[in-house]
Amino acid sequence: MGQYLFSAVLATAVAERRFPAGFKFGVASSSYQIEGGWNASDKGESIWDRFVHTTPEAIVDGSNGDVACDSYHRWREDVQLLENLNVDFYRFSISWPRVLPTGFPNRLSEHGARYYGDLIDALLERGIEPVVTMYHWELPQTLQDLGGWANPLIADWFADYARVLFDLYGDRVQTWLTINEPLICDFGYDGIFAPGLQSAGRGSYLCSKYMLLAHARAYRLYEREYKPKYGGTVSLVNQVYWLEPQTEQDAELTELVRDISIGRYAHAVFSAEGGWPPALERYIAQKSAEEGEPRSRLPAFTQEEIELIRGSSDMFAINHYATAAVSAAAPDATYGVFAVEGVAELGAAVAPRPEWPPTASDWFTLYPEGFRGALLYLKQQYGDVEFFVTENGYAGSDDPLDDEPRVQYHRDYLAQVLLAMEEDGVRVAGYSAWSLMDSYEWMTGYQASMGLHHVDFSSPDRTRTPRRSAHYYAQVARTHDIDVDYSFHEGDNKL
């Protein structure tokens, strides 16, 4: 575990600053990662249910989310934890097959619909705003069997599902997030994540296109039929891994890697001209031609599709964890599972710089300045868009409860958000810590603890216990001050 020390210079720069009064603090989770109840009442099977049950060897500890944090039954405890944290909002996700067991709106699950309705009502009663993700990777298996995200009809299916959610909860939910991290297309078509298919650079690109269209259809539906009544917002959530050139020679390649990793999902929505990033589109078209393909493996957009997607997000919802440096790959390069998506296509390699302190997770090292770099880059690329941090957090720590490295992580990354706002004029409306509690972290199973709360997965009660970082975050949410000198005293225990 590397020790990361807050620099004295930075401490001086931020010590006197506070997040503005209207800035919102919250925490995030996702349905498959916490709910369990995978076959409760009439819930349908999701691609994650199928994947973990048929391919347990894809998960480092062979575990699954059948029970997870058991939030399907223990959600009232979660709401209490949220109240203790003083948060303004809770970002959670809805499981598509829990609400629509067949994947289609022909059958609504009363239990599923009531579960999320009760959660939303309980949050609102305590003054906690529900921020709802509509898709955090749980495609109904029934739709996967029909081609899933590679079938263009998924845009209709997703819009149908969106209508069900807007009808059920639109009167109480003001902030909708359509799809969490479309980059999941790369993991899903690279055998790493559900549905575990092998079609990198082909299936993954169909998925990229149809996810953008599905998102845009849901956005336009809300804009046309629900926004006049409810006035809420609808946005896409992008994962932004910040990327820097390893050396000056790598600058051009780095631009292309940013295009495939960030621009593939941001350019179509946020740029003035829409569509794919032009340099990336040319690169893949040329490579496809050299490979003897009759057309580019990156499917083209029609002009109508470009118009539909362009401008289809009310804010830039950003998940950020880490930074990587880009260089040309050795000819025999192999790619780790958490390599930045799409780099193999470009003959690029990504790696941390040696001076960035490592963490317990091989997929990220600590470089808080990268967060500010990413925000400034996005503002320069896409204009003065409003940002909302929908995820930022730290994986692993030596001690189950005294997680000082996580406290440092949030303090230092929040400091960079503050500097981006005050020094670079970037508009940021809110920040979500990932995560409310330890949960099922996909292919790392239960081994990557990312929670402000520890969860005892060996106990049938799934006991939740606040970590030091929960105490710290509750203080930040209350005071809007990152408190560079934060230290914890036993007597301070307010949770």
Ligand X SMILES: *[C@@H]1O[C@H](CO)[C@@H](O)[C@H](O)[C@H]1NC(C)=O
**Please, what is the minimum distance in Å from the beta carbon of residue 67 to ligand X?**
7
**Please, what is the minimum distance in Å from the beta carbon of residue 460 to ligand X?**
13
Please pick, among 35, 45, 138, 181, the residue that the annotation labels catalytic: 181
Q: State yes or no: residue 380 binds ligand X (CB under 6 A).
A: no
**Please, what is the minimum distance in Å from the beta carbon of residue 291 to ligand X?**
44
Whether residue 413 contacts residue 7, with contact meaning beta carbons closer than 8 Å, is answered with no
Q: Cα torsion at 476, 482, 488, 494 (round to 10°)? A: -10
Report the b/e string of 179-205 with b at 16+ CB within 10 A: bbbbbbbbbbbbebbbbbbebbbbbbb
Q: State yes or no: residue 39 binds ligand X (CB under 6 A).
A: yes
What CA–CA distance (Å, rounded) separates 432 from 69?
19
Q: State yes or no: residue 66 binds ligand X (CB under 6 A).
A: yes
Please pick, among 35, 369, 391, 404, the residue that the annotation labels catalytic: 391
| Closer Cβ to ligand X, 38 or 219, answer by number | 38
| Closer Cβ to ligand X, 52 or 443, answer by number | 52
| Closer Cβ to ligand X, 7 or 39, answer by number | 39
| Closer Cβ to ligand X, 43 or 464, answer by number | 43
Q: State yes or no: residue 42 binds ligand X (CB under 6 A).
A: no
Answer yes or no: 138 catalytic: no
Whether residue 349 contacts residue 343, with contact meaning beta carbons closer than 8 Å, is answered with yes
> For the chain, what's the residue count?
495
| Closer Cβ to ligand X, 65 or 393, answer by number | 65
Residue 147 CB partners (closer than 8 Å, separation 6+): 153, 154
Answer yes or no: 391 catalytic: yes
What CA–CA distance (Å, rounded) separates 353 from 170?
45
**Please, what is the minimum distance in Å from the beta carbon of residue 451 to ligand X?**
22
**Please, what is the minimum distance in Å from the beta carbon of residue 305 to ligand X?**
41
Q: Which residue, among 150, 129, 130, has the nearest Cα to 139 in the 3D structure?
A: 150
Site for ligand X in 118-147 (CB under 6 A): none
**Please, what is the minimum distance in Å from the beta carbon of residue 66 to ligand X?**
4
Torsion region of 206: left, alpha or beta (phi above 0 gives left; psi -120 to 50 gives alpha): alpha
| Closer Cβ to ligand X, 66 or 402, answer by number | 66
**Please, what is the minimum distance in Å from the beta carbon of residue 483 to ligand X?**
43
Q: State yes or no: residue 249 binds ligand X (CB under 6 A).
A: no
| Closer Cβ to ligand X, 38 or 371, answer by number | 38
| Closer Cβ to ligand X, 52 or 484, answer by number | 52
Residues in binding contact with ligand X, number by CB under 6 A: 2
Site for ligand X in 429-458 (CB under 6 A): none
**Please, what is the minimum distance in Å from the beta carbon of residue 195 to ligand X?**
20
| Residues known to be catalytic | 181, 391
Binding site for ligand X (CB under 6 A): 39, 66
